[in-house]
Amino acid sequence: MMLNQGRQRLKMAGKATKTIEKKEVTFEKGSGNVFRDLGLPNPDEMGRKSDLVHRIDKIIRGCAMSQTLAAQKMGVDQSDLSKILGGQFRSVTFDKLFDMLIALGKT
């Protein structure tokens, strides 16, 4: 009832309502590694690095720690940490991410 009243108000205000066309959507089961599914290079390594970044992010959020403080504890610039947490970690080595995780856990 409310929806119809809303549509009537829109029409009365001189605005047209939009009809959305139904389209068929198909799904494909993934491999469990999004990097492989997207055809990106080194998908296994990227998957492992992604797991480390997720753990780092989970610890930072769980402790309600600022990125600035977390970056200091891990020995990296806050801007670099922000990029890593934002998904830009291809150029960061697995060992570096692992060291960051260990340093964060020593707080």
CATH number, span 42-107: 1.10.260.40
pTM, two decimal places? 0.72
User: DSSP per residue over 33-80, as a string?
Assistant: -HHHHTT-SSHHHHHHHHHHHHHHHHHHHHTT--HHHHHHHHTS-HHH
pLDDT tens figures, 38-74: 999 999 999 999 999 999 999 999 999 999 999 999 9
What is the mean pLDDT of the segment spanning 78-103?
Answer: 97
Assigned token pair, 62: 């769980």
Q: What are the boundaries of each domain within the chain? A: 42-107
| Largest separation between any pair of C-alpha atoms in the chain | 64
State the CB neighbour count (10 A cutoff) for residue 84: 24
Whether residue 94 has pLDDT greater than 50:
yes
- Stretch 84-100: mean pLDDT, rounded? 97
